[in-house]
Structure 1
Amino acid sequence: MEIDRDRDLVIERVIRAPRGRVWDAWTDPTLLAAWWVPPPAVARIDVLDPRPGGAIITRMSDDGDTFLAHTDGIFLVVEPVRRLVFTNAITASWHPATPAPVPMTAEIILGEHPEGTDYRAVVRHADAAARARHEELGFFEGWRAVTEALAALAEA
């Protein structure tokens, strides 16, 4: 799919690890919890069912005791070791999310690279205003931080 610069936000980097390791970090609940939120926050993975229609429900905590809702969505596309697409516009119970904090669809693409994995996260929004809101809320800071943590985990 093409990138719509008015509505999409993109993070790209090379992760110096095989695609299988990066895939595992996205699809194993224990591994996902290790990098899914920027530190010092911690993640709890309540449900991770990486199959089309499967749920992704996560929580986050600043103190490790009190966990707040973070992600409640479903996987739309799952192509093993290649691509994951999920959305928070539909909850894990398949109800329209009202309101989703920033309604989005995220496409995670894992490509071959001579040094490991060509990693791309494309986060799509309904319109330019939603994209701008997500960017103002710290999209690049947050997604870059967790992508760095993902890379560190996969490269270790």
Structure 2
Amino acid sequence: MTVIDPRLDLTLERVIRAPRETLWKAWTDPRLLERWWVPAPALARVERLEAQPGGAFVTSLSEDGDSYVAHTDAIFLVVEPGARLAFTNAVDSTWRPASPAPVSMTAEINLLDHPDGTDYRVVVRHADPAARDRHEELGFFDGWGSVTAALATLAESGDLS
């Protein structure tokens, strides 16, 4: 991981009692990602998940299970199997600058060995303090915290079928 700047970055860290490979699978298998990627009771649908550098990361969100709206439209920057993912929404899945511009960010997910399972670390970087503060105001800690809890529940259950 690179240096964290608290004026620009939001972070989350949690020990998840499951092996890194389980968390990796939950991040890279569309069927599993749909089970935890958005805060409940909303539902996620994975449109494209190409876990490779330059690959698309596109998801939709539904409040009612019928109609879906765009949620994530990003590209992967770094993919180190079993260890690290990084993606950005500053560039959309068609490799064009995002328009309209979302709260632009780069997210880095690190999976590190821990005696109790996996040290799960997320850093979300922003271009300036205003973007960082806006992301926090929009509910970064509640949103990323709840989906991380859902990821932990899924991974720790061992139910990856």
TM-score tier (shorter): over 0.9
1:8 equivalenced with 2:9 (yes/no): yes
SS at match of 1:72: strand
TM-score by length of 1: 0.99
Classify the secondary structure of the residue corresponding to 2:135.
helix
What corresponds to 2:146 in structure 1?
A: 145
Gaps in structure 1 of 5+ consecutive residues: none
Q: What is the CA RMSD across the aligned residues, in angstroms?
A: 0.5
- Could you list the runs of 5+ residues in structure 2 that have no partner in the other structure? none
Is the aligned partner of 1:39 residue 2:40?
Answer: yes
Is 1:53–2:47 an aligned residue pair?
no
Corresponding letter in the other structure for 2:71: H
CA distance in 2, matches of 1:64, 1:120: 30
1:90 aligned partner? 91
Under a length normalisation based on structure 2, what TM-score does the superposition of the two structures give? 0.96
Aligned to 1:132: 133
SS class of match (2:92): coil
Tell me the amino acid that sits aligned with residue 146 of structure 2.
Answer: A
Amino acid at match of 1:52: P
TM-superposed deviation, 1:100:
2.9
Partner SS for 1:17: coil
Residue equivalent to 1:80: 81
- 2:30 is matched with 29
User: Matched residue of 1:92: which SS?
Assistant: coil
| Contact 2:9 2:124 survives alignment (8 Å) | yes
Per-residue CA deviation, residues 74-111 of structure 1 (Å, 9 max, x unaligned), is: 00000000000000000000000022321000000000
Q: Secondary structure of the residue that 2:35 maps to in structure 1?
A: helix
- The structural deviation recorded for 1:58 is 0.1
**Matches of 1:27 and 1:99, distance apart in 2:** 27
Query: Which consecutive segments of 4 or more residues in structure 1 shift more than 4 A?
Result: none
- Report the residue type matching 1:123 in the other structure: V
Verify the 8 A CA contact 2:90 2:102 in the aligned structure 1.
Answer: no
Distance 2:73 2:65 in 1: 19
Aligned length: 156
**Match of 1:35, SS?**
coil
Separation in 1 of the partners of 2:146 and 2:103? 19
Amino acid across the alignment from 1:147 = T
